[in-house]
Amino acid sequence: MKKIFIFINLLIGVHLVNAQQIELGIKAGINVGRGSLSDISNGTALIPATIDNVTGFNGGVYGRFKIILVGLYLQPELVLNTRNGVYNFNDGGKNFHVTNNTTYLDVPVLVGFKIVKIFRVYAGPNFQFLLSQNTTLSDQSISGLSRKNLDKSNTGLQVGVGLDLWKLRLDAKWDWNPTSMGSFMQYNNSSPNLTNSMFTFQLGYKFWGIL
C-alpha cells in the first residue's frame, strides 16, 4: 500500500497538475487473456500445463488530471479485476486440472497523451492487491497435489488506447505481469509460478469534469 500513498502524495503536491481541468468517472468491462504457469515436476520429468481461458470482468472509478504540457494527462484508477483460469495436467496418464479464480484491486497510474481531442494513448504501472482467491482441485485424492496462496500484492504494466466520445470513454488495453504473481498450487513439492497477460476492454462514463 505504500506505493499507492506515494502516488497519491504526488497527485496532491505536484505542481504540473492543473487543478482546473479534472475529470471523474466510472468504467466497466471484460478481460480476455490467460495465465501462464512455469512447468511442474513429478520428480523425474517436467509436466507442462495446457490452459483454458476464462473471461473475467472489471469495474471501478477513475480520475483524469491534465498536465501543463500540451496533450498530457495523468489518470489513476481504482478497479476490481477478476483473473481466472483452468490449468490441465497429464502425468503419465493421470489427468487432473486446477481452477483458479481471483479478484484483485487494481490501482493503475497511467500517463497518457491526447491526439485530436478524442484519441488517447497511455501506459503506466498497475499496482495489484489480491482480495480473494478460490482454487479448486479436480481430484482431491491425487497424491502430492495441494493448494497454495498467491502473493498478496504485485506490480504489472498496462499499455492502451482510448476514444473520448461525448461523455463516453472507450478503452482497449494490454495488461500483463512480467514477474511472478506467486503460486496457487503444489504438486510433488513443485510450485509453478503464475504470470498473467490479458486484453481488457472497457466502457466508461464521465460524471464530472471539463477535460
* Domain extents in the chain: 2-209
Helix (H, G, I), strand (E, B) or coil at 55: coil
Return d(Cα 19, Cα 65) in angstroms, integer: 7
**What rounded mean pLDDT belongs to the chain?**
87
For domain 2-209, which architecture applies? Answer: Beta Barrel (2.40)
38-97 per-position pLDDT tens digit:
888 777 778 888 888 788 999 999 999 988 767 799 999 999 999 998 999 888 778 889
Residues 6 or more apart whose Cβ sits within 8 Å of residue 13: none
102-116 per-position pLDDT tens digit:
999 999 999 999 988
C-alpha cell at 122: 497511455
Residues 6 or more apart whose Cβ sits within 8 Å of residue 31: 55, 56, 57, 58, 81, 82, 83, 175, 198, 199, 200
